[in-house]
Structure 1
Amino acid sequence: MSTLPFLARRVLAFSVFTVSVVHAAPAPSAPKLVLVLAVDGLPAEQLQRYRGQFGQGGLRRLMDEGAVFSNAHQAHGVTVTAVGHAAILSGAYPYQHGIIGNNWIDPVSKASVYCTDDASHTYIGEETKPGDGTSPARLRVDTLGDQLRYASGNRAKVIAVSGKDRGAILLAGKTGTAYMYMDKTGNFASSTWYMAAHPQWVQQYQAGRPQDRYYGKTWKPLLADAAYAGDAPDALFPATPASPNRFPFSFYSDSGNIDADYFNRLKTSPFLDELTLDFARAAIEGERLGGTAGVTDLLGVSLSAHDYVNHAYGPESKMSHDHLQRLDRMLADFFTYLDRKLGAGNVLVVLTADHGFPNTPEFVKAAKGDAGRVNAGALVAALNVALAAKYGHEKLAIAQSAPNFHLDYAAIDKLGVARGEVENTAAAFLRAQEGVAEVFTRSQFEANATGATRMGVLMRRAWHRELSGDLVVVTRPNWYFSSSGSSSGTGTSHGSPYSYDTNVPLLLSGRKWIKPGYYGQYAETVDIAPTLANVLRLRPPSGSEGRVLVEALQTP
């Protein structure tokens, strides 16, 4: 491996390929449709581990016929759904695009805010609660879809569909249209940011109630038992009153009726992705995507269920393994549909993920590794005790949305103590706590003094001066902040700068534009937007810092 620091290697690579782009020949013809698939929570290693079990027409088709970047990363330090989705089509890092987490602390009110909430907009025909995701207003940059719309005089259509509101909204950008799964009704719906009422095709789709067809159905393993021999044993997932935590899984409601309980349970199953792809087909038909001569349309599809499954059971589980096999078959059907609808070779496909996943702590510990969960609330409480003992003020750490922790600078100023001193005291205390690897301070970020190590660079990219915390805590490898706030529990989570969270699939397919091959070059998800812009002869999005993946592009 190169001895150059991480940032220097990235800058050098960027410079080299920027020069190459100037002389690159344009693509021979534009695709009818660009399909961007984001599989929520899919580590790159799972594609390699299970490759031999995939069918012929889905993931293996992309891997055999397209460009596979094995060393691709979500190259920022807070690897969660919203941040990753914002990067894919903006080409920007969080310090520019402003989506620093799924949630974060408002710097003025100190209240928690959600990445896509917008009180001025509501879901169409659905209950909208405070904090629900209804618009891209918090996204501070434009996207490839916005550039496509602009360059085409708004003739190009940009549609995004997801099981999560943030997955759809952050792919759709400012001028596209997002549709998201409603876990109270099982509908896919948009919001008033995009339109006043749903078009007729959406109303017809909703009237068909496809989400009801899974009631009483079970999810059983797709393959023979021997195919799962290397997965984590069932004993790792203790049964609970709410779930047996092992196959078969049944989908129903405790009330005995098709209701919100049932629709919520569907999320941790292959059926959510099946519904998402089904709605994507309806969008292609209803909006005539790819059907306007001389115009390229963009369809973003974020498949959310793998994330829910991995959170519950970990990527080492039989459930995660089987879910990916089922998703592979769903994609094969979807690609066959696209070939039939738009003609083989007329769609450019990109598949990536918003983040990877670590194994569950229990799995790591069983292999004699160090792992655990960090209770962020308890960490803040302990920090305040330590700071009070030194400075005589009861609560200098006033809020947290891990990994961001916020200090009361007004109180610190009244104490007559330098802010940097309190930051350093707090950082030293936190570094000594179980499960903590490193702590970066506001003063470090503002002075660009986080260092040229990979961790330092990724955390600097993830930090936004106006929005992020005054202390940013990085857990040790295989430790993570528990979403429940507890240091115990089940399942696993993500959000770190470690490779298991950053290394994601990056597959590009479409022989008119993409040169098939297995590429070991370092790549990032921020490279997707400028690469597609190059193919489509568009201006890259305003915040784009990625490089064009010229090594994987066809020349006439």
Structure 2
Amino acid sequence: MRKLASLLLLSSIFIGNAQTAKKPKLVVGIVVDQMRYDYLQRFKDKFGSKGFNEIIENGTTFENAHYNYIPTYTAVGHASIYTGTTPKDHGIIGNNWYDKYEKKSIYVVDDENFETVGSTTNEGKKSPKRLIASTVADQLKLTQNFNGKVIGVAVKDRSAILPAGHSADIAYWFDGGKVGNWVTSSYYTKELPNWVSLYNTTNKVQLDEYLASPWMTEKNINDYTESIKDHNHYEGVFKGEEKPIFPHDLATLKEKNGGYSLLKTTPFGNTMTLGFAKEIVKNEELGKNKNYSDFLAISISCTDYIGHKYGAMSKETEDAYIRLNNDIDDFISYLNKKVGKNNYVLFVTADHAVVQIPNYLMDNKIPGGYFSSKKFLEKLNEFTQEKYQSTNLIENYSNEQIFLNHDEIAKLGLNIEEVENSIINEIITYTHIYKAVSAHTVQRSEFTQAPISLLQEGYNQKRSGDILLAFEPAVISDHYIKTGTTHGSGYNYDTHIPILFYGANISKGKTVKKSVNITQIAPTLSNILQIQEANMSSHDILTEVFEQNKE
């Protein structure tokens, strides 16, 4: 009891310090898609004293930060960061998932009730309607009586929409192809601000310049010693390209690789994003309101596209982070000049990390593998035919979840829990399946050990399937069996990400021993902004952010 009382007293001191500090005029979130924590260490010497190293040197670093659920996907990560809770509460269980009521696969932010603003394509028919919980940005709007501005921006629509929440002023994402515009949805506005329309027109020159020149390494490629050799059989290639090696001739590749969409799989898409973010700060006068705070949620999407194609050990990935480091340093300099270094708080994190390419691991005698969904379903249907004389019991398999056909089960007079358990007992014998648990089990019990505890945090009673699976470590879908990699598991390679805080009244120092969760970012931001937490947010604040002179 004395220890608990001491901890509560210590926490109240930190929180009190935060609440007596001046509120920032602007909060900026930067979520780097697919960033492993170890990139900060591997590429540290290449970063020099700027960018990430500037943030680490003069801010608060959490070296042992993890995601606390499965699945570690992009939409889920962004939703969890900004709501302060896990899929079991905020309802975002994937980028796409099977809707067991509509009986079809749906995309997380698709919404036919709205139209594209900024182009004639369908890229803007989006909204945050499937996000059940409020975000910290929503709470900022509520607290300030809907004064102050909240804006989201990312190449990916879901990465712009979900962080900004339901009440954002606007969110922007990139419509590639032949368009090359930043667009939005009529959910937010009927027309783009004049300055955005003008920017889209004038920015085409810059986009064309990116695609007119080859993607070459920022530094001498021979100095990229943190990566494997450039020419290897683990990496993907662009259409029309014979080898996955530098330089990548973007001008030649543009036509066969989606026009302006090609930028998504280059570092220039990140430069483009942060360049547009600077224009948002300037034209929307973020951080200039004397009475209210603004919020800018930025997501760096192109690191994910590059990582999927080339893997964590590629020279392309290393080059992308070296260039991103320069872009972030430039963005910080811009904030210091435009907003003032004592007027903003910035945090950097990631929506998930990524596994090394399994073929690369296996070639180096480290366990890994590939899982065939097609063969899995064939074998499972053979089992249900033999045991229940039906091949209609499995309605859908996706995101490592089995959705059972409840109508068929009722028709056959079967008990659904008995069906769940018999299937679990069958599939646990299959190659590469490490754990399996039923929906009824996670509803009734409280698990504390991974991966079942992580599956439980990712399980949403209304939306998730009837049986949840976890593969063995470094096992991914055979969609990637030839080249590239992915993410989604609860293992350290997918969960361990950076959490960095920087800016006004943010302490200097590193937290090494303490393990923290991604869901602690939102309540910490709420404390910094002196607002109510998001409605399903964790209450566990990262108090180290408020300690002064820790070193």
TM-score (norm. length: structure 2):
0.93
Residue aligning to 1:161: 153
Q: CA deviation at 1:546?
A: 4.7
- Counterparts of 2:222 and 2:71, CA distance in 1: 37
- Counterparts of 1:261 and 1:487, CA distance in 2: 21
Q: Which moved more, 1:14-23 or 1:383-392?
A: 14-23
Q: CA deviation at 1:229?
A: 2.3
Residue aligning to 2:129: 137
- Counterparts of 1:144 and 1:120, CA distance in 2: 25
Residue aligning to 1:497: 490
Name stretches of at least 5 consecutive residues in structure 1 with no aligned partner.
Answer: 1-12
Residue aligning to 1:151: 143
Does the Cα contact within 8 Å between 1:133 and 1:165 map onto a contact in 2?
no
1:136-181 Cα distance to aligned partner (Å, 9 max, x none):
0000011111111111122211111001000000111011121001
* 3-state SS, counterpart of residue 298 of structure 1: strand
- Counterparts of 1:527 and 1:205, CA distance in 2: 36
Q: Does 1:428 align with 2:425?
A: yes
Alignment of 1:71-470 (within 5 A): 71-129=64-122, 134-176=126-168, 177-184=170-177, 185-208=179-202, 209=204, 210-233=206-229, 234-237=231-234, 242-243=240-241, 244-252=243-251, 261-448=258-445, 451-470=447-466
Q: CA deviation at 1:271?
A: 0.8
Give the percent of matched residue pairs that are identical in Structure 1 and Structure 2. 30
Residue aligning to 1:3: none
Decide whether aligned partners of structure 1 residues 368 and 270 sit closer, same or farther in structure 2, where only a CA change above 3 A counts. Answer: same
- Counterparts of 2:4 and 2:267, CA distance in 1: 39
1:430-457 Cα distance to aligned partner (Å, 9 max, x none):
22222211111112122125x3212122
- Counterparts of 1:405 and 1:93, CA distance in 2: 20
* 3-state SS, counterpart of residue 497 of structure 2: coil
Q: CA deviation at 1:133?
A: 5.9
| Partner AA of 1:464 in structure 2 | N
* 3-state SS, counterpart of residue 258 of structure 2: helix
- Counterparts of 1:98 and 1:525, CA distance in 2: 16
- Counterparts of 1:411 and 1:76, CA distance in 2: 31
* 3-state SS, counterpart of residue 351 of structure 1: strand
Decide whether aligned partners of structure 1 residues 286 and 14 sit closer, same or farther in structure 2, where only a CA change above 3 A counts. Answer: farther
Decide whether aligned partners of structure 1 residues 255 and 100 sit closer, same or farther in structure 2, where only a CA change above 3 A counts. Answer: closer
- Counterparts of 1:360 and 1:94, CA distance in 2: 27
| Partner AA of 1:113 in structure 2 | I
| Partner AA of 2:197 in structure 1 | Q
Does the Cα contact within 8 Å between 1:311 and 1:493 map onto a contact in 2?
yes
| Partner AA of 2:413 in structure 1 | G
Q: CA deviation at 1:515?
A: 3.9
Decide whether aligned partners of structure 1 residues 18 and 79 sit closer, same or farther in structure 2, where only a CA change above 3 A counts. Answer: farther
Q: CA deviation at 1:27?
A: 4.1
| Partner AA of 1:150 in structure 2 | L
Does the Cα contact within 8 Å between 1:133 and 1:166 map onto a contact in 2?
no
| Partner AA of 1:228 in structure 2 | Y
Q: CA deviation at 1:392?
A: 0.3
- Counterparts of 1:154 and 1:216, CA distance in 2: 43
| Partner AA of 1:51 in structure 2 | K
| Partner AA of 1:535 in structure 2 | I
Decide whether aligned partners of structure 1 residues 540 and 411 sit closer, same or farther in structure 2, where only a CA change above 3 A counts. Answer: same
Name stretches of at least 5 consecutive residues in structure 2 with no aligned partner.
Answer: none
| Partner AA of 2:470 in structure 1 | V
* 3-state SS, counterpart of residue 399 of structure 1: strand
Does the Cα contact within 8 Å between 1:232 and 1:363 map onto a contact in 2?
no
Q: CA deviation at 1:381?
A: 2.4
- Counterparts of 2:6 and 2:264, CA distance in 1: 44
Does the Cα contact within 8 Å between 2:83 and 2:537 map onto a contact in 1?
yes
- Counterparts of 2:345 and 2:4, CA distance in 1: 24
1:111-153 Cα distance to aligned partner (Å, 9 max, x none):
00011111101220324449x7611000001111111111112
Q: Which moved more, 1:424-433 or 1:283-292?
A: 424-433
* 3-state SS, counterpart of residue 301 of structure 1: strand
Residue aligning to 2:513: 520
Residue aligning to 2:56: 63
* 3-state SS, counterpart of residue 348 of structure 1: strand
* 3-state SS, counterpart of residue 354 of structure 2: coil
Does the Cα contact within 8 Å between 1:351 and 1:508 map onto a contact in 2?
yes
- Counterparts of 2:5 and 2:413, CA distance in 1: 46
Q: CA deviation at 1:236?
A: 3.1
1:71-108 Cα distance to aligned partner (Å, 9 max, x none):
11121110000000001111011011000000111111
Does the Cα contact within 8 Å between 1:237 and 1:245 map onto a contact in 2?
no
Q: Which moved more, 1:100-109 or 1:23-32?
A: 23-32
Q: Which moved more, 1:505-514 or 1:111-120?
A: 505-514
Residue aligning to 1:9: none
Q: Which moved more, 1:430-439 or 1:108-117?
A: 430-439
Does the Cα contact within 8 Å between 1:372 and 1:479 map onto a contact in 2?
yes
- Counterparts of 2:31 and 2:486, CA distance in 1: 18
| Partner AA of 1:202 in structure 2 | V
TM-score (norm. length: structure 1):
0.92
* 3-state SS, counterpart of residue 532 of structure 1: helix
Q: CA deviation at 1:414?
A: 2.3
* 3-state SS, counterpart of residue 278 of structure 2: helix
Q: CA deviation at 1:250?
A: 2.0
Q: CA deviation at 1:378?
A: 2.8
Decide whether aligned partners of structure 1 residues 380 and 17 sit closer, same or farther in structure 2, where only a CA change above 3 A counts. Answer: farther
- Counterparts of 2:504 and 2:56, CA distance in 1: 13
Does the Cα contact within 8 Å between 1:526 and 1:545 map onto a contact in 2?
yes
Does the Cα contact within 8 Å between 1:237 and 1:246 map onto a contact in 2?
no
- Counterparts of 1:205 and 1:404, CA distance in 2: 43
- Counterparts of 2:443 and 2:165, CA distance in 1: 29
1:286-323 Cα distance to aligned partner (Å, 9 max, x none):
11100111321111110001111110111111111111
| Partner AA of 1:348 in structure 2 | V
The number of residue pairs the alignment matches comes to 537
- Counterparts of 2:480 and 2:296, CA distance in 1: 40
